[in-house]
Amino acid sequence: MKALVYDGPGRRSWRDVPDPVIEQATDAIVRVDAVTICGTDLHILKGDVPEVEPGRILGHEAVGTVTAVGPAVQTLSVGDRVLVSCISACGACRYCRQGHFGQCLGGGGWILGHLIDGTQAEQVRVPFADNSTHKVPAGVSDEQMIVLADILPTSYEVGVLAGGVRPGDVVAIVGAGPIGLAAILTARLYSPSHIVVIDVADARLDAARKFGADTVVNSTHQSPRAVIDDLTGGLGADVAMEAVGLPGTFEEAVELVRPGGHVANIGVHGAPATLHLEKIWIKNLTITTGLVDTHSTPTLIGLVSNHQLDTAPMITHRFSMDEFDTAYRVFGDAAESGALKVLLTAST
């Protein structure tokens, strides 16, 4: 088969590799029908995730069709259409039993396209297949489904649920990339009074408005804190989410929140950020971080399938898998291309 292989920092190629095979009794092999590229893949290619070894097939998000199952797989059959989650779960360890699949101690967690070969390929081996996939309901398209592999549950769990968004809240979201936009979509489920989105790119702020932000701030020429002060009588946001992964945007999120408020960090960070304890110790803040667990994926699938959540506008560009190189360039140059999520489908 063909796959997108990481060849060390800055190098990748779409090339022939051996087909995956069942290695454990709980494995399934899935033919990839649709796959996407994540900001995390760009971090890997920059060399920010050193545990990814050269030769690794990237990708941790896919929709596909089961082509083989190991003898211990109980709930999947050949021909089933499934979402392959970014998180695999052994189902039996202490964390899995609490629904914290992201912290799995039994060989799961974020392993696809990280510690084992991933989904940017014509086929993928999915470990612990019963617990690491979700059946796609009839009537839901690959396009609607693919964003439920990672970004929707990430923004919902690590941003909205961890941040404790409540009806009437003023929610500030720093960063209007795909994760920030997914945070808007899922925060809206809780009827906040305002969703304020901060970014440095007007194109991304336009997208934020389309996804449901009522106030957008370009922080290159406007003070986010001043805008939020106007909305809150000088108090600050109830919940501030960091959706970029840079020291400056984390520090900004901390500055935007009111006393007693919540800072929910969603971004993937590669460098230390300064925590101004000398200013915030007195403010009763809660700061949370996290890797997605994907315990909310069934809920989100239900919302999409019942038309309560419209994920389709997340996909801005479509390619076939033999155009992987172009897809990476378009996604990597999102400021220029306006790409949110790119969808690649099997080349026939």
Stretch of residues binding Zn ion (CB under 5 A), selected from 22-30, 31-39, 119-127, 232-240: 31-39
- Read off the tokens for 94: 């202490």
Both ends of the chain: CA-CA distance in Å?
A: 13
- Of 17 and 49, which CB lies nearer to Zn ion in the complex structure? 49
CB environment 287-308: b (16+ within 10 A), e (fewer): bbebbbbbbbbeebbebbbeee
Q: What is the DSSP string of 169-232?
A: -EEEEE--SHHHHHHHHHHGGG--SEEEEEES-HHHHHHHHHHT-SEEEETTTS-HHHHHHHHH
Q: How far is the CB of 128 from Zn ion (least distance, A)?
A: 8
Binding of Zn ion by 52 (CB under 5 A):
no
Letter for the amino acid at 56?
R
CB-nearer residue toward Zn ion: 42 or 231? 42
Examine residue 106 and tell whether it contacts Zn ion (CB under 5 A): yes
Least distance (Å) between residue 142 CB and Zn ion: 17
Q: Minimum Å distance from CB 105 to Zn ion?
A: 6
Dist. CA 89–CA 116, nearest whole Å: 14
Contacts of 227 (CB under 8 A, 6+ apart): 196, 215, 217
Cα torsion for 128, 67, 83, 207, to the nearest 10°? 140
Closer CB to Zn ion, 146 or 160, in the complex = 146
Q: Which of 28, 66, 68, 104 binds Zn ion (CB under 5 A)?
A: 104
Cα separation, 205 vs 217, whole angstroms = 8
The verdict on 62 binding Zn ion (CB under 5 A) reads: no
- The total number of residues shown for the chain amounts to 348
| Residue of the chain from 27, 80, 150, 199 that contacts Zn ion (CB under 5 A) | 150
Choose between 40 and 296: whose C-beta lies nearer to Zn ion.
40
110 versus 211: smaller Cβ distance to Zn ion: 110
* Choice between 90 and 183, CB closer to Zn ion: 90
What is residue 331's DSSP assignment?
Answer: H
- Is residue 137 a contact point for Zn ion (CB under 5 A)? no
Closest distance between Zn ion and the C-beta of residue 39, in Å? 7
Q: Is 96 in the site for Zn ion (CB under 5 A)?
A: yes
Question: How many Å apart are CA 213 and CA 170, to the nearest integer?
Answer: 11
* Size of site (CB under 5 A) for Zn ion: 9
Q: Does 70 bind Zn ion (CB under 5 A)?
A: no
Does position 293 interact with Zn ion (CB under 5 A)? The reply is no
User: Which residues are near Zn ion by CB under 5 A?
Assistant: 38, 40, 90, 93, 96, 104, 106, 108, 150
